[in-house]
Structure 1
């Protein structure tokens, strides 16, 4: 009888602890979990199972690894918020698979992404004709984001689906994709009255128009 009571007690406590830990680690959809999120989730699950295999071991000692993993995950998430470079290393960066209607085979090989994957994800979004796609971006979560061609089929060379500034940092690679550099960006922002790039949370540029959101905490 004591064994069954012990199992019930441990199950209840572990359930509550895991629920609290995952709430602390932040909200993400399953399909948007980063590699770190996935690894930590699997490890916490394995540790939880091990706690039932030997009821003779102190329960608190078996809970410590779960708490340590949660602490590491929260710490790394905090570092990711502060460092774009670290975030790119951990989560990866989006890749343009279709650019202005042209498939980038090099980017596909780099991501080990084949044409079957591409066509499947396009069909899931109701797209059967590649000519209808202006941009297709493989997100770091593995999801394919698609920007369709406009009905008038205009080619917008100045459009970019990626931000030019993130967390106060200029994204040089995204500027290169539209044939611009940081001198051009600074000049355009200066005309808009924006001289402090470190105060900009995100800056997007599409169809010749800028979208700017400023970080109010840095004022």
Structure 2
């Protein structure tokens, strides 16, 4: 038994099946810990070094899970070091973005494609057009600016005449905007949300009856949207 634990921690030629399960669990928890230590920015903003660190963490962990000859303790040292270096690199990114090369690159300026910027960002015209289409922009004549962001994505700004109409441009009354409020979930009425909205069960039951639904217990999801629409799904 002692030899099995020694192989599990330090590596060896053979390891029992339960050892692989223990290794997988320990490495899983270690990856969760280092990912949380790195913070939301490291996970949500995929810069070059974040990608390398994520790939390295996965590769190191995977090799320890399937290869008994690789020591587990080594991974417990390497993974925090990787995470720490990634955090330091992020601080450098913030303090000296020009030095790291994380400044955005303007690919289209005043409606004109900047050939030198395409070469600098190693972006082909087909890739630029594809990224624009993914953002719902299909006509080059509508674009004022397109920028290659530090995370590798392309942001597009339309010309003024193609921008969405704003309510204040026509002096329309302000419209309250809020996230949808759950009224019912899996047959349970959210009484706190009704109270917050100044509503009551009588109002809710009347709205359900308008949809031909006699009782809230038969509703899977009901939400009140910001325009007053009630979304109902019976599941």
Please say whether Structure 1 and Structure 2 have the same fold, judged by a TM-score greater than 0.5: yes
Distance (Å, rounded) in 1 between the aligned partners of 2:66 and 2:139: 54
Mind listing any 5+ residue stretches in structure 1 that lack a counterpart? 154-219
| 1:137-192 CA distance string (max 9 Å, x none) | 11111211111111289xxxxxxxxxxxxxxxxxxxxxxxxxxxxxxxxxxxxxxx
Mind listing any 5+ residue stretches in structure 2 that lack a counterpart? 5-14, 164-235
What CA RMSD, in Å, does the superposition of the two structures yield over aligned residues? 2.4
Q: 1:119 to 1:30 in 2, by over 3 A?
A: farther
Corresponding residue of 1:198: none
Find out whether 1:129 has 2:129 as its counterpart: no
Q: Secondary structure at the match of 2:161?
A: coil
Corresponding residue of 1:78: 91
- Map residues 5-16 of structure 1 onto 2, 5 A cutoff: 5-16=18-29
Question: Is the 1:34–1:91 Cα contact (8 Å) retained in structure 2?
Answer: no
Structure with higher Rg: it is 2
Distance (Å, rounded) in 1 between the aligned partners of 2:102 and 2:153: 13
> Under a length normalisation based on structure 2, what TM-score does the superposition of the two structures give?
0.57
Q: How far did residue 93 of structure 1 move? A: 1.4
Corresponding residue of 1:190: none
Given the alignment, which residue of 83, 89, 93 partners 2:103? 93
Question: Is the 1:31–1:141 Cα contact (8 Å) retained in structure 2?
Answer: no
Distance (Å, rounded) in 1 between the aligned partners of 2:69 and 2:159: 64
Distance (Å, rounded) in 2 between the aligned partners of 1:152 and 1:124: 17
| 1:87-107 CA distance string (max 9 Å, x none) | 334362111111111111111
Q: 1:29 to 1:123 in 2, by over 3 A?
A: farther
Q: 1:126 to 1:91 in 2, by over 3 A?
A: same
Corresponding residue of 1:48: 61
Q: 1:128 to 1:107 in 2, by over 3 A?
A: same
Corresponding residue of 1:107: 117
What is the number of equivalent residue pairs in this alignment?
150
Distance (Å, rounded) in 1 between the aligned partners of 2:69 and 2:109: 60
Find out whether 1:62 has 2:69 as its counterpart: no
Q: 1:31 to 1:127 in 2, by over 3 A?
A: farther
